[in-house]
């Protein structure tokens, strides 16, 4: 380890007042040491552990690691295991098993600092012991066929939240909003969800797993909210009225009427109005800077799995997708775009809209820091900026709800 990285680690993990008094980081000055629950409901870290094999309790290149998140006050997350690329039928459950094993093993290796939790009571105990509580969620797919036995097995392994829509195409039970861009499939195959989707919801309600409607089409989102007996979440989303993209007020009101919660996304390309304007005005450059992310999310194996395969397919997948994953990391923003990256106050405009439309019980944090693009805050050391922005727009009681109690309420009511 180089001397400067040792110094950096001390600043990030060491005594906050030291950094603050030296003026090293404004974030440290805002360190929310007294917030009992400070939760980001949409994080991706186990995928990085799996594909990058790095130690994420130490500061790493890229925007999110446990060390910086914990140092800036975060003590609970939903880590979304993403089976990106494994969207061929039958391979998503295998990839999901690899990721869930990685998450459980990593937590065991760092049990002095973290624990995988399955209930909010567990989470409160872990947080009270000074550690990070980690719920496991799924993005992009766990089994594209929606097998109820597979669902039950993953529940036993600790999975507590499932996003219905994939990024890359319709699966056996729901349409995907961004399928045309990422995987070239149409987004209205079912005009929402089908009977299999409704059966899955019923089983998730029975078990007590959160239904996450993110990346569903408008119709799929509405039908998921209507079909679930329990409140649903949209874990990482913007509000269309404010950002120009994201959830409609109609769906927001419907979700809230059933007790649900939206987590507000932090990505510059969705939250940032100025940033989005640049992207619209520079379509060629915008496409280029998003290329690595698109290649990762929309990865398609160079060859289909052959009959009689004895492991050749998965070797090819690991080689090709591992490359696509790593190519997406280490995001560097274009200099001309840096001033256009949204501020925490711009992020909080989204929260403000939700509060004014449906009330403060229905909004939380879901930043989706995924290392393949810039956003707010710039990295996991900046959660204090989010907290400071929230304090400007609403009451301390509402800040407490938005910073985690709303997430806990929906986790508690997932069984219906
Ligand atoms: Zn997503």
CB 247 within 8 A of CB 177: no
Residues of the chain with pLDDT under 50: 1-32
Residue 23 CA to ligand 1 center (angstroms) comes to 35
CB 293 within 8 A of CB 327: no
Has residue 199 been placed in a domain? yes
Residue 40 CA to ligand 1 center (angstroms) comes to 14
Has residue 2 been placed in a domain? no
Residue 213 CA to ligand 1 center (angstroms) comes to 10
pLDDT value at residue 231? 98
Give the model confidence (pLDDT) of 123-176 as tens digits.
Answer: 999 999 999 999 999 999 999 999 999 999 999 999 999 999 988 889 999 999
Question: From CA 191, how far away is CA 352, in angstroms rounded?
Answer: 31
Residue 163 CA to ligand 1 center (angstroms) comes to 9
Q: What's the alpha-carbon Rg for the chain, to the nearest Å?
A: 20
pLDDT value at residue 61? 86
Q: How many CB atoms lie within 10 A of CB 75?
A: 22
What is the token pair recorded at 60?
A: 């790493």
Has residue 152 been placed in a domain? yes
The total number of structural domains that make up the chain = 1
User: What burial class does residue 246 get, using C-beta atoms within 10 Å of its C-beta: 0-12 exposed, 13-18 middle, 19+ buried?
Assistant: buried
pLDDT value at residue 178? 85
For the four alpha carbons of 256, 138, 194 and 155, in that order, the dihedral sign comes to negative
Residue 181 CA to ligand 1 center (angstroms) comes to 14
What is the token pair recorded at 269?
A: 């390309």
Has residue 23 been placed in a domain? no
Residue 401 CA to ligand 1 center (angstroms) comes to 23
Q: Show the domain range for 371.
A: 32-412
Residue 368 CA to ligand 1 center (angstroms) comes to 7
Has residue 272 been placed in a domain? yes
What CATH code is carried by the domain that includes residue 235? Answer: 3.20.20.140
Tally of residues, the chain: 416
What is the token pair recorded at 164?
A: 């219905």
CB 227 within 8 A of CB 193: yes
Question: From CA 156, how far away is CA 38, in angstroms rounded?
Answer: 26
Has residue 293 been placed in a domain? yes
Residue 349 CA to ligand 1 center (angstroms) comes to 20
Residue 120 CA to ligand 1 center (angstroms) comes to 23
Has residue 17 been placed in a domain? no
Has residue 74 been placed in a domain? yes
For the four alpha carbons of 9, 34, 137 and 213, in that order, the dihedral sign comes to negative
Q: Is the pTM of this model over 0.85?
A: yes
Question: From CA 111, how far away is CA 106, in angstroms rounded?
Answer: 8
pLDDT value at residue 401? 98
């Amino acid at each position: 380890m180089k001397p400067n990285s040792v110094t950096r680690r001390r600043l990030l993990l060491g005594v906050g007042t030291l950094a603050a008094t030296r003026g090293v980081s404004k974030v440290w000055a805002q360190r929310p040491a007294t917030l009992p629950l400070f939760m980001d409901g949409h994080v991706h870290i186990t995928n990085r552990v799996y594909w990058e094999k790095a130690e994420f309790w130490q500061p790493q290149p890229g925007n999110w690691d446990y060390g910086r998140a914990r140092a800036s006050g975060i003590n609970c997350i939903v880590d979304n295991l993403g089976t990106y690329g494994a969207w061929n039928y039958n391979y998503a459950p295998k990839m999901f098993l690899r990721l869930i094993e990685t998450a459980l093993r990593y937590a065991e290796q760092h049990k002095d600092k973290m624990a995988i939790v399955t209930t909010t009571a567990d989470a409160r105990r872990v947080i009270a012991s000074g550690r990070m509580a980690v719920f496991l969620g799924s993005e992009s797919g766990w089994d594209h066929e929606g097998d109820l036995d597979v669902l039950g097995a993953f529940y036993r392994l600790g999975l507590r939240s499932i996003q219905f829509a994939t990024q890359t195409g319709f699966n056996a039970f729901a349409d995907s909003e961004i399928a045309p861009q990422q995987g070239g499939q149409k987004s209205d195959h079912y005009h929402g969800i089908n009977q299999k989707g409704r059966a899955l919801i019923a089983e998730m309600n029975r078990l007590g797993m959160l239904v996450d409607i993110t990346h569903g089409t408008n119709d799929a989102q509405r039908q998921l909210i209507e079909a679930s007996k329990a409140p649903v979440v949209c874990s990482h989303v913007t509000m269309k009225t404010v950002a120009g993209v994201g959830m409609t007020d109609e769906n927001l009101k419907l979700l809230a009427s059933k007790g649900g919660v939206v987590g507000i996304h932090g990505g510059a390309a969705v939250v940032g109005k100025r940033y989005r304007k640049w992207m619209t005005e520079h379509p060629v450059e915008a496409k280029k800077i998003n290329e690595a992310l698109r290649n990762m999310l929309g990865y398609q194996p160079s060859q289909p799995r052959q009959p009689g395969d004895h492991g050749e397919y998965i070797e090819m997948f690991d080689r090709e997708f591992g490359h696509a994953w790593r190519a997406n990391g280490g995001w560097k923003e274009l200099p001309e775009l840096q001033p256009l990256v949204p501020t925490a106050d711009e992020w909080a405009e989204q929260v403000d809209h939700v509060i004014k439309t449906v009330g403060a019980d229905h909004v939380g944090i879901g930043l989706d820091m995924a290392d393949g693009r810039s956003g707010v805050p710039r990295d996991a050391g900046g959660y204090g900026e989010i907290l400071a922005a929230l304090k400007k727009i609403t009451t301390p009681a509402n800040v407490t709800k938005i910073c985690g109690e709303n997430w806990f309420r929906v986790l508690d009511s997932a069984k219906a």
